[in-house]
Amino acid sequence: MTITGATAPDGAGSPGSPSGSADRGGSADTSRPGLPGSYLIWLAGTQVGALGDAALYFALGWAAAAHGGGAAGLVLTAITVSRTVLVLLGGAVADRWGARRVMLTGDAVMLAATLTLAVAAGGRGTPLRLLVVAAVVVGVVDAFYLPASGSMPRRLVEPGQLPRALALRQAVCQMAALLGAPIGGALVAVGGLPVAALADAVSFAVLLLVLLRVRVRGDAELAPATPETAPAKGGAGERGAEAAVVVPGLLREAAAGVRSAAGDRLLRAALLLAGAAAGVLLPVGSLLVPLLAREHGWGAGAAGLVTGGQGAGVLAVAVLLSLRGGRGRGGSRRRSGRAASGARSGVRSGGGPGAVAGVGLGAAALGVAVLAWAPDPGVAVLGGVVTGVGSGLFAGRLGPLVLAAAPVGHLSRVQALLTLVQSAALVVSTGLLGLLADAAGARVPTVLCASATAAAGLAALGSRALRPSGRPER
């Protein structure tokens, strides 16, 4: 799970090509039309895919655990490391060749890979080598798929509806996270890893059909043609020369995406905040709650209830935001080279997303502090719920801000950078917090996470870049 994607706008246009009032520059339609049918169809497909993925991840972890704790850690690390190393390149690929094309390719590759895994596991069992190879394939495909998928809401909905669209997506992802492990457990109980892999293969087949059905707006439809979004020109000779240097070109484009985000005041502040929040909030449920439960002698059931309470809090806020949408109803102004300059002003006006995100982090810090000092499982579950509510509020406000602020030609690369900063922060903080827990007990790193989350919340409240008036339109 990620903080902002964990985390994620339609007018009078057709579902496949929305053209609501936010794009025209007038005041937004206060009747708040529903989300486009194309987005809802895509979201339903992603829910099926997320359930299949969650079930497969559980099955991989379960099979790896049979080889020992070190082997289980190796398999999970193989997914994370391969994804983190390649994600910036994946964003550049999606921006160059199109998010839909990359997603179709990724679904086709995973369909073949899961079918192969099912056959191999059914015939040879689950040797560690097979599990590691499967994990690497999953991580590599994720590196290209996640940035493309992250840009889809911007391509399917109007800017003014991004908060609602991303909140609904967050709710769907949270539902998959809550249901995926039990489904995976049931599938493993029925037929082990082969059955779970077959189920995931079915989910990828569904996703392929959905993507073939859904029409996605390209960069040229999101904004006027600019040097960064205009299609490449030239004859076959020029295209061949370009193909000969495709990898260096993609690396340069990935670096350009980093420079673009680093040079943008709003994106820079939002990405730093997302990374900080991921580093101190995500380890709470995955690492510190089990350690606290063991120290107190509460048992695995209590730890599961605390983690479930955190997920329920995230889900409740995501559902509420998807029903209410963003507060910003102001008009929009186009800016050259940006598809959603109106989204910037609309998302940022009136509601103060930076302030709301800061309040969310403050609530999450309170919940983590309750977890640290909880005398019994009941209080710990309450702390988990408060932590989830704060995390959901933070993600529900920061996610639309990042997606709306991304330059049109860099949509997938910004999403890749968002994935990278959160993954890198999580990898570093999880190891350090684990070492601290071994040395001083689980309460000390939990209190440290609460303090760091509160500090991040104060930083969000004080950030001029995240205020409605903090960044003039360029």
In the predicted model, is pLDDT for residue 18 greater than 60? no
pLDDT value for 385:
94
pLDDT value for 237:
43
Q: What pLDDT digit, counting tens, does each position of 44-100 carry?
A: 998 899 888 888 888 887 888 788 756 776 787 788 788 888 888 888 888 888 888
pLDDT value for 386:
96
Question: In the structure encoding, which two tokens stand for residue 104, read together?
Answer: 């179709």
Burial of 74-84, coded b for 16+ CB within 10 Å and e otherwise, reads bbbebbbebbb
- pTM score: 0.67
In the predicted model, is pLDDT for residue 448 greater than 90? yes
Q: What pLDDT digit, counting tens, does each position of 359-406 carry?
A: 999 999 999 999 999 999 999 999 999 999 999 999 888 888 887 787
DSSP 14: B
DSSP 31: T
| Distance of alpha carbon 194 from alpha carbon 115, whole angstroms | 9
Q: What pLDDT digit, counting tens, does each position of 102-155 carry?
A: 999 999 999 999 999 999 999 989 999 999 999 999 999 999 998 888 888 888
Cβ neighbour number for residue 378 with a 10 Å cutoff: 11
Question: In the structure encoding, which two tokens stand for residue 176, read together?
Answer: 């998959």
Sorting pLDDT into bands at 50, 70 and 90, what band is 172? confident
pLDDT value for 474:
40
52 neighbors 199 (Cβ within 8 angstroms): yes
Higher pLDDT, 473 or 285: 285
**Which of 256-260, 332-336, 381-385, 435-439 is the least confident region?**
332-336
In the predicted model, is pLDDT for residue 173 greater than 70? yes
Percent of the chain past pLDDT 90, that is, above it, reads 27
Sign of CA dihedral 418, 420, 421, 423: positive
Higher pLDDT, 281 or 304: 281
pLDDT value for 463:
86
156-179: average pLDDT = 82
Q: Count how many Cα atoms sit within 13 Å of the Cα of residue 117 in the half-sphere of its side chain.
A: 33
| CA distances to 156, 188, 225, 272, 304 from 17, in Å | 7, 42, 18, 33, 43
In the predicted model, is pLDDT for residue 452 greater than 90? yes
Higher pLDDT, 278 or 304: 278
316 neighbors 131 (Cβ within 8 angstroms): no
| Residue in 323, 326, 325 with CA at minimum distance from that of residue 351 | 326
pLDDT value for 248:
60
pLDDT value for 333:
36
312 neighbors 149 (Cβ within 8 angstroms): no
| Highest mean predicted confidence (pLDDT) among 192-201, 327-336, 420-429 | 192-201
pLDDT value for 470:
41
